[in-house]
Structure 1
Amino acid sequence: MTELTKLTISAARDRLRAREFSALELTDAYLGAIDAANPTFNAYVAVTHDKARAMAAASDERLGKGEAGALEGIPLGIKDLFATEGVHTQAASHILDGFKPRYESTVTANLWADGAVMLGKLNMDEFAMGSSNETSYYGAVTNPWRANGSNKKLVPGGSSGGSAAAVSAWLCAGATATDTGGSIRQPAAFTGTVGIKPTYGRVSRWGVVAFASSLDQAGPIARDVRDAAILLKSMASVDQKDTTSVDLAIPDYEAAIGKSVKGMKVGIPREYRVDGMPQEIETLWQKGIAWLKEAGAEIVEISLPHTKYALPAYYIVAPAEASSNLARYDGVRYGLRVPGKDIADMYEQTRAAGFGREVKRRIMIGTYVLSAGYYDAYYLQAQKVRTLIKKDFEDVFAAGVDVILTPATPSAAFGVADEEMAADPVKMYLNDIFTVTVNMAGLPGISVPAGLDERGLPLGLQLIGRPFDEETLFQTAHVIEQAAGRFEPAKWW
């Protein structure tokens, strides 16, 4: 039954409703694939066999009665950042050791209400801090893709590396993910999958472990654009428990797919041509421009002058918010507790043992930029830059641009334990160069597979849209997907 795992969500949905196979058969096919391949990929940190089968059996009952929800019987993987009642939720960190929440995040509650099945919790960079999924307490995730003629292990990107790898390796039909500075779009680009970061406020953050509250946004990673649209429709909602969620009607995103882009204005920002950008990224970008032009879109060059300040501003704002959010992990109420001679010593011992190196680095940066004497010089300045970045986009959209096309990443996937990356955190941070502006401005962005590099590794293009106009992103991404074709890794595992 393993071929069942290769079905897209839309195909599986239609065939489940036609009763060609049962939700339980589909779920068992995925569980079998996970049990066989997860030791190779390390994509799942917890597999919920019994819960998955029970949910699938309930789906079969509803399918039999003609009461199917939008995702009835569809097996999904859930990033370890989302609270799942009674199930391992640790943000891939030692400090949340043994934590099993007594509540469900709004996003996962929405998915279960629509009939989805939970296969388990997916690996990620610790507290979503990383661009390679190597900072996880549970170890690195391996990308299902390999360079031509090479056995070298590659990273799947981060922080949603487990989500991207599991979708790419057919270990779930789709996955939840989160994006604070590119953590959905970069792994999607590295694994030949589709990932969308919705507009800030489109999806509830309640029950999602916080990294940087003004930047975090949940979204899906899926095998194609249609599947991403189906998942986002279920994930999005207004939520009284999240005051930043926006009360706007959620469109039928799937209905936007297949619509013409004729007459649409596509902006090409000159500032995204960065120094030292590989020629293959420029070539891919030109291909994307040509495809949209052929489909009838108008291509216009635009300027986003404050782009060059986005990365440094992001790496002040995000760590500052992280240092504030992570102060709650102290060993007192839940998670890891390392005894000390007094309460202050217990805090210190617990945090020293519980947080990984990258998380400690970001907490220290964040605490420094918020400290007396530096707050105005760093944090306040970064917030002013953020306002200017947002205004750049507003001006471009006000001038009639419908969507912006850029590369998703500055390169294809790099090696696990890459010495150059490990020795220089700034080099790792530069992976987010094309994605952070979208979070700083609170805009929606999608990464869609657009080609392979000379080593046969996937590369993605990014589309950036107006606030709450995810429909245009799906519409345009589908045109690129149709022109580029679909990509999947050659199975070696």
Structure 2
Amino acid sequence: MADLNTLGLAEARDLLRKGETTSVELTEACLKAIDAADVLNAFVHKTPEIAMERARAADARLQAGDAPAMCGLPIGMKDLFCTEGVPSQAASRILDGFRPEYESTVSANLRDAGAVMLGKLNMDEFAMGSSNETSAYGNAINPWRRDGDDTALTPGGSSGGSAAAVAADLCLAATGTDTGGSIRQPAALTGTVGIKPTYGRCSRWGIIAFASSLDQAGPMTKSVRDAAIMLGAMCSHDPKDSTSADLAVPDFESLLSGDIRGKTIGIPREYRVEGMPAEIEKLWNDGTEMLKAAGAKVVDISLPHTKYALPAYYVIAPAEASSNLARYDGVRYGHRAKLAQGDGITEMYEKTRAEGFGDEVQRRVMVGTYVLSAGFYDAYYNRARKVRTLIKRDFEQAFAAGVDAILTPATPSAAFGLGEMTEADPVQMYLLDVFTVTVNLAGLPGITVPTGRDAQGLPLGLQLIGRPWEEADLLNTALALESAAGFVAKPARWW
């Protein structure tokens, strides 16, 4: 069967169960596609031997009738997930050569469910970035191009390699992580689906930490149904993660109906930011009408503390990053700088961290150290934590008033050219997260669904925000939006 790599998880699973293809055939098709797409720089550590071994094992399980939904399906793994014996360096020079002796809980859950890992995917260094331009591996490239223009575009970040790989059909799906929008923003820029579950739904154990109170893993897929399938396999309670929720994981796929009659969708007026492009405004209005036509009631809501979300996020996230990244000192693992005669341990720390961390990571570590320092802790960090509580309360009040989900834009623009933002003020890059950071600050589930294209043919997405722990309901609303939008466009193959 031709082009098996273009299938989604649900389609491939059904073919496997009917015996119309094998995991080995699916995996070979993806490995061939990966080797032909090196220019995208999406896969940075290929693992074909592991992939073929797991594919053969999956075929044996399928033959025996012991096959969970993800069994035999080839996926990519973001380089932030520790994978036993496979380089796991968070796209940073400071972890060059690090091969963990253990497996992250999420990647172990997927492995145990029979998923086939094809390799590790590119990302922004330590997940700090919105364009995949801070990676030690170099930029990941978006498979989409503007009509009539060969400019290389960003796939978004930090899960840029995951988004590019899924959009270019190099894998059937991929893992991502989301600290301030790092699943949802790249999904929107590549015409794919990305869901960040409720904080605590997926274990963070074995995922290289950026900001521990914000980080959450999730799937990046070709459809909402695929997101439901993969999320179910990724989630679990994990005693090794103290923030992991001891809650049963629903069968998300079985709860998909696409029927949202009687649901109430909130439209937050504060998300109509100044200077919003007309295309994004129209997309949002069109999405609102689609949900109305599907039987939902649409109401205006207020989330008054939204305007403080970005500054609060860019205090809290760097503060936690400066604490988490203190462990990279050249003593126990990863990169260690060469020392001059007479250098002591202080010089080793300084030289190692200066060589190992890129500019953006250094910038955030310095900001974080500053806001946690004596004299500034209350002025910045504690104040940001109080604002975070108010943002969370805004959402709680909206949900208490009967809102089932909230519809917003996912990004303020379509994909932009690589280098276009980095040459400007870094704050311009931070503003790309304006629609997504509130969800992390409040610990809520959020999903991006591709719903249209801009005037230059690039994909645009809308975001749905759900009640805590109600990913099943959120996925169902997303399915209704996906069905109404009918987005089926794929990037024209130029690589």
Q: With structure 2 as the length reference, what TM-score do the two structures score?
A: 0.98
1:216 aligns with 2:218: no
Gaps spanning 5+ residues in structure 1: where?
none
The alpha-carbon deviation at position 138 of structure 1 amounts to: 0.4
5+ residue gaps, structure 2: none
Q: CA deviation at 1:300?
A: 0.3
Once the two structures are superposed, residues 153-211 of structure 1 have per-residue CA deviations (whole angstroms, 9 ceiling, x without a partner) of 00000000000000000001100000000000000000000000000000000000000
Distance in 2 (CA, whole Å) between partners of 1:143 and 1:150 is 13
Contact 1:408–1:434, Cα closer than 8 Å, also in 2 = yes
Which of 416, 419, 423 is equivalent to 2:418?
Answer: 416
- Per-residue CA deviations over 1:67-91 (Å, capped at 9, x if unaligned) read 1122111001000000000001000
Q: Distance in 2 between matches of 1:423 and 1:281?
A: 22
Question: Which residue is equivalent to 1:465?
Answer: 466
Separation of aligned partners in 2, 1:2 and 1:348: 53
Contact 1:69 1:113 in 2 (8 A): no
Structure 2 distance, partners of 1:424, 1:473, is 36
Structure 1 counterpart of 2:32, which letter? Answer: G
Which residue of the partner structure matches residue 33 of structure 2? 33
- Deviation of 1:411 (Å): 0.3
Matched, 1:390 2:389: no
Q: Please say if 1:455 is aligned against 2:456.
A: yes
Distance 1:36 1:295 in 2: 41
Query: Any idea what SS the aligned residue of 1:178 has?
Result: strand
* Aligned residue number for residue 186 of structure 1: 185
User: Secondary structure of 1:76's partner?
Assistant: strand
Distance 1:83 1:125 in 2: 16
Q: Which amino acid aligns with 2:350?
A: E
Which segment is superposed worse, 83-92 or 13-22?
13-22
- Which one is further off, 60-69 or 316-325? 60-69
* Match of residue 278 from structure 2: 279
Correspondence for 1:313: 312
1:199 alignment counterpart: 198
Three-state SS of the structure 2 residue aligned to 1:137 is: coil
- Alignment-derived partner of residue 404 in structure 1: 406
SS in 1 for 2:44: strand
Answer yes or no: is the 8 Å Cα contact 1:449–1:487 preserved in 2.
no
Q: 1:16 is matched with which residue?
A: 16
Say if 1:320 and 1:379, in contact at 8 Å, map to a contact too.
Answer: yes
Matched residue of 2:289: which SS? helix
Name the SS of the counterpart of 2:423 in structure 1: helix
Tell me if structure 2 keeps the 8 A contact 1:197–1:446.
yes
Q: 2:332 & 2:15 partners in 1: Cα distance?
A: 46
CA–CA distance in 1 between the matches of 2:480 and 2:464? 12
Task: Write the mapping of 1:291-302 to structure 2, written as runs, cut at 5 A.
Answer: 291-302=290-301
User: Is the CA contact (8 Å cut-off) linking 1:445 and 1:465 kept in structure 2?
Assistant: yes
Deviation for aligned residue 1:487: 2.6
- Secondary structure of 1:218's counterpart equals strand
Q: Deviations over 1:265-297 (max 9, x none)?
A: 000000000000000000000000000000110
Q: 2: CA distance between counterparts of 1:278 and 1:421? A: 21
Matched, 1:329 2:328: yes
Q: Give a deviation string over 1:328-363, Cα, whole Å, max 9, x none.
A: 000000000113311111111100000000000000
Distance across 2 between alignment mates of 1:196 and 1:17: 26
SS of residue paired to 1:422: coil
Q: Which residue in 1 is equivalent to 2:243?
A: 244
Residue aligning to 2:128: 129
Which residue is 1:361 aligned to?
363
Distance in 1 (alpha carbons) for counterparts of 2:370 and 2:106: 33
Offset from partner CA, 1:108-137 (integer Å, 9 cap, x none): 000011100000000000000000000000
Query: Secondary structure of 2:280's match?
Result: helix
Q: CA deviation at 1:473?
A: 1.2
Deviations 1:12-62 (A, max 9, x none): 00101111111111101100100111x210001100011100000111111
Partner of 2:433: 432
Structure 1 vs Structure 2 CA RMSD: 0.8
Q: Could you tell me how far apart the structure 2 residues matched to 1:103 and 1:2 are?
A: 36
Partner deviation per Cα, 1:429-470 (whole Å, 9 max, x = no partner): 000000000000000000000100010000000000010011
Cα separation, 2, equivalents of 1:360 and 1:109: 31
SS in structure 1 of the partner of residue 3 of structure 2 = helix
**Any idea what the Cα deviations from partners look like across 1:306-337, whole Å, max 9, x if unmatched?**
00000000000000000000000000000001
Instruction: Give 1:390 shift.
Output: 0.3
Tell whether 2:346 aligns with 1:344.
Answer: yes
Distance 2:109 2:446 in 1: 22
Distance apart, 1:256 and its partner CA: 2.6
Q: Could you tell me how far 1:421 is from its partner in structure 2? A: 3.8
Runs of 4+ in 1 over 3 A off after TM superposition: none
Give the counterpart letter for 2:360 in structure 1: E
User: Which residue, 352, 375, 382 being the options, matches 1:373?
Assistant: 375
Shift of 1:2: 4.8
Deviates more, 1:387-396 or 1:68-77: 68-77
Compute the displacement of 1:424 (Å): 0.9
Give 1:476 deviation, angstroms. Answer: 0.8
Mapped partners of 1:227, 1:477: distance in 2: 12
Residue in 1 that maps onto 2:169: 170
C-alpha distance in 2, partners of 1:241/1:45? 28
